[in-house]
Structure 1
Amino acid sequence: MEADGPSGNLTPLQGFGFEVREVRKGRKLTQKHLARGAGYSEAYVSRVEKGQLVPSERFARGCDVVFGTHGMFQRLRRRMEESDHPSWFVPYVQLEQKATRILDYSTGLVMGLFQTEDYARAIFRAAHPRATDDVVEGKVAARLRRRAVLDREEPPAIWLITHESALRTRVGGPAVMAGQLEYLLHAAELPHVDMQVMPFSAGAPDGQMRPFTLLGMEDSPTALYVDGPQGGRVYEAAKMVGQAADTYDRLRAHASSPDDSAAFVKSLLKEHRP
């Protein structure tokens, strides 16, 4: 999509590409010059400028070096990432990126950090039925970027408790669900990930079906994230975090063991495979 200027109806991704193109032209450089200086192909530069490709952090840094823009494109990329998340979710994402310990209890859907691309796309398309494909794809890309924490040299220790209802809710059809369940099984095999399923037979150990996530910088949780009808919120009050940690311990005690949980997910997987 073309626009006459930054005030045009651009998505954040297209806006980044617009700025790259305008600065490049202002410096009288070709796409080949930028590609060589940033260490990427001309095709990559072209797709970024057209808003068709999410730029890497290295590419943004390369633009700043080539253009002499002193971090402008790195800052623009960070703002672009944040813009694909609702404003109320940005504080959580910032904490998630730094956390060394993540404890999650999901009841209606699989935790976002462990959603596959197709599963996330189906969720966002259902939640935003009138949104353009660019908007939906931007949200999907933002969700997938959260996985970077799993690839850190020292990834966070993660404990997932997923309610059976989330695993049985069919999102995007059998093929999408099969891929999602397979991904969960793969994640559960990672040395820093533990997974349990809360079966229907366990009732409601916490008194209600309320999802939440605890994040910590060491062994103890220091922040609590809770979803709400108008968006989620992060709490850091020690009393609230402590109460949520106690609740999480009760949930772990009532959930199926990791081995039994993996076996259950495998049984569900058979139901979705053609």
Structure 2
Amino acid sequence: MSDPTFRQVRLGEALKRLRERAGLSQRDAAYRLRYNYQKLSRIENGQLPEYHGMRAMLDLYGVLVSEEAPFIDMWERASEKGWWRPYGLDDQGYISLEHDAVGVCEFSLGYVPGLLQVETYMRAVFRGWHIQHSRKWTENQIAIRTRRQQRLIDDGPLQYHGIIAEAALQQADREQLLHINHRATLSNVTVQVLPGAAGLHDGQNGAFAVLDFAYPGEMSVLYVEHPAGSTHVEDVDRVKATKLVFKHLSKLALTPDESAEWIGRLAAER
């Protein structure tokens, strides 16, 4: 059996909170649902319940019909296959997190963020990796990244705030720079440039992204990539500390209007 997806884990946690709010132990709830204790434990740890079982739990836990919609939506999301599956990706990585997020705050130290990249820039990035991949792999990655960018312009778009270090933009060509400014005109997109003149700061420790979700009992996830892979952190205190770092970097950076002017001047020099 495969590990539960991020969506399934979130659903299990939400059901656990509802049970605890209702003052029921796992054993009491399992008895009333005619489940064995182990089954309810597995559901709360991410095993997807059947639809009618889900409705029975909501009823037992005192959720009114008028309050059910967010939980039914979570169940439907946990049941569906992500658009990324045909591309050979599983549900455990960043893309599934980004797909479910309502907001992303991203600090980029060395590259233009993926959501703002044009195809020529993507190809240049992949060519620069020390491990060379096949043409098929590269085309697949470009298709994935391009598909991700739809979140910025779809209905109910992703709220995106990117802070990009000056050094990353110095490596971008005119097309890429103008594209960033074009995307920054969207009401759901904020772009700031962190100039080198800002000096040493917390961002020197590395790039990161914080994703916010609209699940019941709102939560956020910190995502960090590193040479050996990536990791995501859900610990509330650590995520909160990272959000404060992002807020500090935002104050050090140029304002969105100043950033657009700065990027425009750099593009004019290309």
TM-score by length of 1: 0.64
CA contact (8 A) 2:104 2:161 kept: yes
**Does the alignment pair 1:266 with 2:264?**
yes
Select 1:241's aligned residue among 239, 250, 261: 239
> Aligned pair count?
189
Alignment of 1:1-274 (within 5 A): 78-83=84-89, 90-127=92-129, 130-170=132-172, 177-206=173-202, 208-218=204-214, 222-272=220-270
The share of aligned pairs that are identical, in percent, is 32
Q: CA deviation at 1:207?
A: 6.1
- 1:92-138 deviation digits (Å, cap 9, x = unpaired): 11110111111010010001111111110111122266422222111
Partner of 1:9: none
Cα pair distance change 1:198/1:209, threshold 3 Å: farther
Q: CA deviation at 1:242?
A: 0.6
Q: CA deviation at 1:243?
A: 0.7
Counterpart amino acid of residue 117 in structure 1: E
Counterpart amino acid of residue 201 in structure 2: P
TM-score by length of 2: 0.65
Q: CA deviation at 1:82?
A: 4.0
* Worse-superposed segment, 250-259 or 120-129: 120-129
Specify the SS of the correspondent of 1:191. coil
- 1:178-215 deviation digits (Å, cap 9, x = unpaired): 11101100011000111110000001221624110000
* Worse-superposed segment, 214-223 or 191-200: 214-223
Q: How far apart, in 1, do the equivalents of 2:103 and 2:131 lie? A: 35
Cα pair distance change 1:75/1:191, threshold 3 Å: closer
RMSD: 2.4
Q: CA deviation at 1:221?
A: 6.0
- 1:202-244 deviation digits (Å, cap 9, x = unpaired): 0122162411000001497600011212112111111111110
Q: How far apart, in 2, do the equivalents of 1:215 and 1:185 lie? A: 22
Q: CA deviation at 1:81?
A: 2.1
